[in-house]
Amino acid sequence: MRGHRGRHDPRRRPGRSHPRRGGARRDRPRRAARTGPGPAGPSRLSPVAVVPRPPGAEPELRAADFERARALAAAWAGLALGPQKRAMVQARLGRRLRALGLGSFAAYWARLEDPTTAAEERQAFINALTTNTTEFFREPHHFTYLRTRWAPAAWARARQGAPRRLRLWSAGCASGEEAYSLAIVLVEAGLVAPGWNTRVLASDIDTEALARAAAGRYPAERLAALPPAVRVRHFRPRSDAPREWEVQPALRALVTVRRLNLVEEPWPIRTHFDVIFCRNVLIYFDRPTQRRILARLRAQLVPGGLLALGHAESAFGLVEGLTPVGPTLYRAER
């Protein structure tokens, strides 16, 4: 597995379903270790598993703390954290508490309420609980469709006099690989050229992930699957970091990186998009939230525009006015 880091690798982020950089592909956080009754069923003597906490262990996320974290994650980011996510929340917020030197979740909740720290801590809380798994040209069939069907159609419309203006949006872009993959398709299809006005918006709620997207620097192993010619056209090795490559300035200039919370209304966007990729984001939301976001994404498409969702997501039965044109790929009806 490319870029796999073992359990004891210090760079591995505890509770993350993947390392922050160069990691294995997985969206859903790893299942929590079983702490409840074993397969033999509950013991009559000890109905509640009591796990002794070694001295110096991180503060314990009690049931009430978990409920509070779940409520805040839902309210602030739309994240629906099921009961099975308790170990993940313990690990990720526990890490944050350690970084802050806080000894209890009570102290952490106070920090989230203190007007002098609340705004910054709210963002750190969201950053801790998002899952940013991504890779270049992930779920490649969507990019194949863009290259073989959508780009030639855009060229055909342009030759018939349509405006040479294209807007694409990676909504939930994580560290930017999806947005730069879109930009590469556009360049390779000749849709970034004199006379064309072409842009990609890369948005996410997680400011740490966005900082990586904006920097456009990636460990070499993240680019290993790209054809060498594509790699050298759009990336260059960093002279000051031997194992890293960075996006070429021309590609970087195509992509606007900005924070956007999909559950906030309204979105600060007036543009209508030719293509929206919102992949592997809706899985973190509950059904009513998915329905609302899908309707808003649909409304943000130009007539005939494309919406791509992730492999475990579907617009079926949730929104009107989208016609399937491929696996988890939809066209806005005109």
- Our CB check for ligand SAM shows the closer of 61 and 173 to be 173
For residue 281, state whether it binds ligand SAM (rule: CB under 6 A).
yes
DSSP sequence for 14-54: TT-SS-SSS----SSPPPPPP-S--TT---SS-SS---PPP
Using the contact rule CB under 6 A, the part of the chain among 111-119, 150-158, 226-234, 261-269 near ligand SAM is 261-269
Residues in the interface with ligand SAM (CB under 6 A) total 26
Question: Which of 70, 222, 279, 331 is close enough to bind ligand SAM by CB under 6 A?
Answer: 279
212 neighbors 264 (Cβ within 8 angstroms)? no
Closest CA to 186 of 205, 170, 162, 203: 170
Q: Is 62 labeled as catalytic in the residue annotation?
A: no
Q: Is 134 in the site for ligand SAM (CB under 6 A)?
A: yes
Q: Is 222 considered catalytic here?
A: no
Closest approach, Cβ 293 to ligand SAM, in A, equals 8
In terms of CB distance, is 80 or 232 closer to ligand SAM?
80
The correct pick among 16, 21, 27, 294 for binding ligand SAM (CB under 6 A) is 27
**Which is catalytic among the residues 65, 204, 206, 274?**
204
Q: Would you call the peptide bond into 163 cis, given omega within 30 degrees of 0 as the criterion?
A: no
We find the least distance from the C-beta atom of residue 245 to ligand SAM, in angstroms, to be 18
Contact 203, 170 (CB under 8 A): yes
Is residue 291 within 8 A of residue 78, CB to CB? The reply is no
| Bridge partner residues of 215 (DSSP) | none
Q: Is 263 in the site for ligand SAM (CB under 6 A)?
A: yes
Told to check if 178 binds ligand SAM by CB under 6 A, we report: yes
Catalytic residue among 86, 92, 111, 331: 92
Contact 292, 315 (CB under 8 A): no
Q: How far is the CB of 102 from ligand SAM (least distance, A)?
A: 24
Among 332, 330, 266, CA closest to 293:
266
Residue from 283, 317, 316, 310 nearest 29 by CA: 283
The partner residues of 256 in beta bridges, in order of sequence, read 201
Chosen residue from 23, 111, 150, 204 binding ligand SAM by CB under 6 A: 204
Q: Name the CA dihedral angle for 170, 5, 236, 186, rounded to a multiple of 10 degrees.
A: -20
Residue of the chain from 117, 123, 248, 261 that contacts ligand SAM (CB under 6 A): 261
Which one among 90, 131, 181, 290 touches ligand SAM, defined by CB under 6 A? 131
Binding string to ligand SAM for residues 155 to 174, with x set by CB under 6 A, is what?
-----------------xxx
| Extended strands (E) in the chain | 165-171, 197-204, 217-219, 235-238, 241-247, 255-259, 273-278, 301-309, 322-326, 329-332
Name the minimum Å distance from CB 155 to ligand SAM: 26
d(CA 278, CA 306) in angstroms, rounded, equals: 11
Q: Which residues are designated catalytic?
A: 92, 204
The footprint of ligand SAM (CB under 6 A) covers 27, 77-79, 130-134, 138, 172-174, 178, 204-206, 209, 261-263, 279-281, 284, 310
